Amino acid sequence: MRILSGIQPSGSMHIGNYLGAVRQWVNSQNPDAYYCIVDLHALTLQIEPARLREQTVDYLASLLAAGLDPEVCTLFIQSQVPYHAQMNWLLECVATYGELSRMTQFKEKASRQEGYRVGLLTYPVLMAGDILLYSAQQVPVGDDQRQHLELTREIAERFNNRYGEVFTVPVGVQPKASARVMDLQEPTRKMSKSLASPLGLIYLNDTPQEIDKKIKKAVTDTDNEVRFDWESKPGLSNLLEMYSSFSGESPEVVAGRYDRYGDLKRDLAELVIASLEPMQRRYRELRADEGALRALAARGAEKASAVAGSVYERAAAAMGL
């Protein structure tokens, strides 16, 4: 099964990224799976160059620590495969301004800043290129990327109708639980790096004390009845779903064991700390050898270029270049 997915090295990786996307990557890795750190996407928002460089390596270590095996799948850095930027231009001449300006993430992010960059509008096209370059059949992503994936399908179909069959039309795959992990302080909003509220996100490398504090301070409600109900109890349901994602039980079964929010929060904190601990240990070991991480990324880029190059050449030729 040909798979492609990516993650932006903006901010630090959080459990929304892990439960919504990265854990699926680990479970579905195979020799035909391509996973990339999409550093070009990170340029859509303000980020210090030195920080971006550093975080890109942090993400390599985090993905390996989470369980990706470069002997099994291909792991690479987007900007090291120039076909992504080249394909972006071809597809910008297929996508329309109207469809890009209707994207919910664009509207949300643009509304929070003055003078936003053109890249903020067009990055779903870059993402479409990321996917189509690898003829991906499946794209494991969190729920927030559903709209961008639908756009990718439309662009692929339009291209194929206009210029001939070049692209595979992909499908998105969401996890059964935690496709949308919510902010712990504002549980009606997704947990998100660019809206980092200090207590709202759990980062994969948070200390046990930080995790414990954030979960204990998570916003719930006042009626003190433990019930899984997103409509009337979003804060509590977010905690129950998080518990369920780490323990494998259904959120209803977890809810049935508790009478008090405090007890649930205490046990959830313990569960999250214990689940992340082996990953954190492995992260520290891997991050200590930056040379090895960069060498691994270079090998990944070489493998990825071979696949992306041939699809790019076919797309460019079909358009008359």
Kindly list the residues in this chain that would bind ligand AQP in the complex (CB under 6 A). 7-8, 10, 16-17, 20-21, 141-142, 144-145, 179-181, 190-194
Name the catalytic one among 107, 176, 190, 213. Answer: 190
| Min CB(67)–ligand AQP separation in Å | 16
Which is closer to ligand AQP, CB of 204 or CB of 255?
A: 204
**176 is a catalytic site residue:** no
Name the catalytic one among 107, 193, 213, 233. Answer: 193
Tokens describing residue 220 = 């719930």
**303 is a catalytic site residue:** no
* Residue type at 236 in one-letter notation: L
Q: What is the dihedral of CA 269, 272, 201, 25, to 10 degrees?
A: -170
Which is closer to ligand AQP, CB of 90 or CB of 184?
A: 184
Distance CA 100, CA 278 (A): 41
Which is closer to ligand AQP, CB of 194 or CB of 310?
A: 194
**213 is a catalytic site residue:** no
| Min CB(186)–ligand AQP separation in Å | 12
Q: Residues near 244 by Cβ (< 8 Å), separated by ≥ 6?
A: 177, 178, 250, 251, 253, 254
Of all residues in the shown chain, the one whose CB is closest to ligand AQP is 20
Q: What is the dihedral of CA 206, 106, 119, 86, to 10 degrees?
A: 90
| Min CB(204)–ligand AQP separation in Å | 12
Q: Taking a C-beta distance cutoff of 8 angstroms, is the pair 132, 311 a contact?
A: yes
Which is closer to ligand AQP, CB of 16 or CB of 70?
A: 16
| Min CB(176)–ligand AQP separation in Å | 12
DSSP assignment letter at 165: S
Q: Which helix (H) or strand (E) holds 36?
A: strand 33-37
Task: Give me the active site residues, please.
Answer: 109, 190, 193
